[in-house]
Chain A
Amino acid sequence: MIKKHWYKILAVGLILYTLWFGLMGDVPRKVVLNESIRNLYFHVPMWFGMILILGASAYHSIRYLIKPDMLHDTKADSTAKVGVLFSLLGMATGMVWAQYTWGAWWSGDPKQNTSAIAILIYLAYLVLRGSFNEEQQRARISAVYNIFAFACLVPLLFILPRLTDSLHPGNGGNPGFGAYDLDNRMRMVFYPAVIGWTLLGFWIASLRTRILTLEQKEHE
Chain B
Amino acid sequence: MQPFVALLRHEFLLEWRQRNALGGILLYVVSTVFVAYITFKVVPPLAWIAIYWVIMLFAGTNAVAKSFMQLSAGRMLYYYSTVHPLQLVAAKLLYNTLLLWTIHLLTALVLSVLVGNPVQDMPWFLFTGAVGILGFSGILTLVSAIAQKASNQSTLMAILSFPVLIPVLVLVIKLSKQALDGLDRSLGYESLGSLLAINALVVAVALLLFPYLWKD
> Do they bind each other?
yes
Interface string of A4-16 (1 = CB under 8 A from B): 0000000000000
Q: Does A211 contact B (CB under 8 A)?
A: no
**CA–CA, A121 to B139, complex, Å?**
13
B150, A131: Cβ atoms closer than 8 Å: yes
> How big is the B interface, by class?
20 to 34
Q: Is the CB of B159 within 8 A of A124?
A: yes
Contact mask for chain A residues 135-175; partner B; CB cutoff 8 A; 1 contact, 0 none: 00100110111011101100110011001100000000000
Most buried by A among B146, B151, B167, B206: B167
* Complex: chain B residue closest to A129, CB-CB: B150
- Provide the main secondary structure of the chain A interface: helix
Count of A interface residues, CB-CB < 8 Å = 28
Having A128-B160, A143-B212, A148-B206, one finds 20 other A-B pairs with CB under 8 Å, namely A117-B163, A118-B163, A121-B163, A124-B163, A128-B146, A128-B156, A131-B150, A131-B156, A132-B150, A132-B151, A137-B149, A140-B212, A141-B213, A144-B209, A145-B146, A148-B164, A151-B202, A155-B201, A159-B198, A160-B170
* A23 in the interface (beta carbon within 8 A): no
Among B139, B149, B162, B166, contact of A141 (Cβ-Cβ < 8 Å): B149
Chain A positions near chain B (C-beta within 8 angstroms) = 65, 117-118, 120-121, 124, 127-128, 131-133, 137, 140-141, 143-145, 147-149, 151-152, 155-156, 159-160, 163-164
User: With A145-B146, A152-B202, A155-B198 in contact, is A160–B160 under 8 Å at CB?
Assistant: no
3 closest A-B pairs by CB: A120-B163, A121-B163, A131-B150
Number of A-B contacts (CB under 8 A): 83
**Given contacts A137-B149, A137-B216, A141-B146, A155 and B163 within 8 Å (CB-CB):** no
Please name all residues of chain B whose beta carbon is closer than 8 Å to the beta carbon of A147 when the two chains form the complex.
205, 209
Residues of B within 8 A of A (CB): 139, 142-143, 146, 149-152, 156, 159-160, 162-164, 166-167, 170-171, 174, 190-191, 194, 197-198, 201-202, 205-206, 209, 212-213, 216
CA distance A163 to B189 in the complex (A): 12
With A and B bound together, what is the CA distance between A181 and B163 in angstroms? Answer: 34
Q: Given A124-B160, A131-B150, A131-B151, is A148 in contact with B197 using a C-beta cutoff of 8 Å? A: no
